[in-house]
């Protein structure tokens, strides 16, 4: 992937922040003894071309030092071969395939950005009916604002593949789908064909991300869900992950990682999230544990899933009650803020990195802590309790 600079992500730390010489002083010691002032000043002068030392010493010793808490963010590395300071999320030299990116919203796109910010090469699989619009939007620059990485460069997507993970091979595709005009002009988009193309083009990958979910009857209560609707939800939302990993694992480098996305409805009752989708997410989490064992033992691949909170994405809005769930989370989660897609992307970058080398078979909650709550504290029942609120 060709970019202006190769970025990586550094872990947050506390550093003194002095406005007059921030870049130099932040990499220096936080305190000066009387004896070392002169030597320290000489080093600073030679490295930053500061012509007058008096204002500098006044700013350090006559004014209080302000401390600023730095958040985790991606930073450009001036030299790819230079060791990164601190404890970096470094994915340089890694290749990631993200299945299920069709626009610049949603968790799939955010994960792609975070992986790219950490240095990974990005290739994606897009649902065939959405492929033309997605590729056209990329070419015309509609996603350019969303592609901006922390170092100012744009995320590059090396290649976009047509994909429909509901079908494992051409023999599985029904005639009505083959003749559907939305699939016209695209070929080799079943799972086995897709993986073969990736193998021919790139040889191998290191990271597999599953960002797929679909339930044609999601708005129906489970008691009213048809067999076909239920099985369709399972097929698209959970077995597709099994199928993709089954085929991709043969071309994944040892030490690689696979990540999927789940939802708290797999463990808790979420009225309105029906059509078998809660069952599909429960299956996905169970499969994560089993696949972690099998892929770990046979291929040294880690398998984890992220249980993400509600997001204002196009896909989520189709469910019909996403605004309500966001408001509920803001009112009841330990952290009273709206979840951002970037926060999920950053968690995925961590899980894909060597920093998470011993984490597999896990459900990682990125939902402002809502999963930990046993009750909704916005209920009138708790009105007399002294519950802190973010006003």
| Catalytic (active site) residue 226 | no
Q: Is 238 a catalytic residue?
A: yes
Distance CA(57)–CA(295), nearest Å, equals 59
Of 74, 236, 96, 95, the closest CA to residue 168 belongs to 236
Q: What is the largest CA-CA distance in the chain?
A: 84
CB 342 within 8 A of CB 114: yes
Work out whether strand 121-127 and strand 157-163 pair parallel, antiparallel, or are unpaired: parallel
Would you call 182 helix, strand, or coil by DSSP? helix
Neighbours of 188 (CB within 10 A): 13
Distance CA 74, CA 90 (A): 10
Which among 258, 279, 281, 329 is annotated as catalytic? 281
DSSP 87-145: S-B--TT-EEEEE---SSSHHHHHHHHHHHHTT-EEEEEEEHHHHHHHHHHHHTTTTTT
Q: 225-257 b/e with 16+ CB inside 10 Å = b?
A: beeebbebbbbbbbbbbebbbbbbbebbeeebb
Please work out, in degrees rounded to the nearest 5, the angle formed at the alpha carbon of residue 76 by the alpha carbons of 70 and 80. 135
Q: Report the candidate in 65, 69, 67 with the shortest Cα–Cα distance to residue 12.
A: 69
Question: H helices of the chain, where?
Answer: 22-26, 37-48, 54-61, 106-117, 128-139, 175-178, 191-202, 227-234, 240-248, 277-299, 314-317, 322-332, 341-352
Question: For 23-27, which contacts have Cβ atoms below 8 Å and span 24 or more sequence positions?
Answer: 23/48, 24/48
Degrees (nearest 5) of the Cα angle 379, 385, 386? 120
CA 245 to chain CA centroid, nearest Å? 18
Considering the candidates 238, 260, 278, 279, report the single residue annotated as catalytic. 238
- The contacts of residue 339 (CB under 8 Å, 6+ apart) are 308, 309, 310, 311, 326, 329, 366, 367, 368
List the catalytic residues: 238, 281
């Amino acid at each position: 992937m060709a970019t202006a600079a190769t970025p990586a992500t550094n872990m947050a730390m506390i550093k003194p922040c002095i406005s007059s010489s921030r870049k130099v002083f932040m990499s220096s010691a936080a305190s000066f003894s009387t004896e070392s002032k002169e030597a320290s000043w000489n080093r600073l002068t030679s490295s930053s071309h500061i012509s007058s030392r008096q204002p500098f010493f006044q700013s350090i010793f006559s004014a209080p030092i302000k401390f600023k808490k730095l958040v985790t963010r991606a930073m450009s590395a001036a030299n790819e071969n230079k060791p990164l300071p601190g404890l970096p999320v470094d994915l340089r030299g890694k290749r990631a395939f993200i299945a299920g990116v069709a626009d610049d919203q949603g968790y799939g796109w955010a994960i792609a950005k975070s992986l790219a910010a950490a240095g990974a090469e990005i290739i994606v699989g897009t649902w065939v009916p959405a492929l033309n619009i997605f590729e056209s939007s990329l070419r015309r620059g509609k996603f350019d604002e969303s592609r901006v990485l922390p170092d100012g460069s744009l995320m590059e997507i090396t290649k976009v593949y047509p994909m429909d993970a509901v079908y494992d091979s051409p023999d599985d595709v029904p005639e009505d789908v083959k003749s559907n005009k939305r699939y016209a002009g695209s070929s080799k988009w079943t799972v086995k064909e897709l993986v073969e193309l990736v193998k021919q083009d790139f040889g191998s990958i290191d990271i597999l991300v599953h960002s797929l979910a679909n339930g044609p009857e999601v708005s129906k209560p489970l008691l009213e869900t048809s067999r076909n609707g239920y099985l369709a939800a399972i097929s698209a939302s959970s077995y597709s992950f099994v199928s993709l990993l089954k085929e991709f694992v043969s071309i994944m480098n040892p030490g690689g990682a696979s990540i999927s996305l789940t939802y708290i409805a797999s463990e808790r009752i979420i009225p309105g999230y029906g059509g078998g989708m809660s069952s599909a997410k429960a299956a996905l989490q169970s499969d994560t544990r089993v696949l972690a064992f099998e892929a770990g033992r046979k291929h040294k691949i880690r398998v984890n899933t992220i249980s993400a909170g509600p997001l204002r994405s196009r896909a989520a809005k189709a469910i019909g009650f996403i605004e309500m769930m966001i408001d509920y989370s803001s009112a009841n989660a330990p952290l009273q803020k709206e979840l951002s897609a970037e926060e999920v992307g950053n968690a995925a970058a961590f899980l894909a990195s060597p920093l998470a080398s011993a984490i597999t078979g896990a459900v990682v909650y990125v939902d402002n802590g809502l999963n930990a709550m046993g009750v909704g504290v916005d209920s009138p029942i708790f009105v007399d309790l002294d519950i802190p609120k973010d006003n």
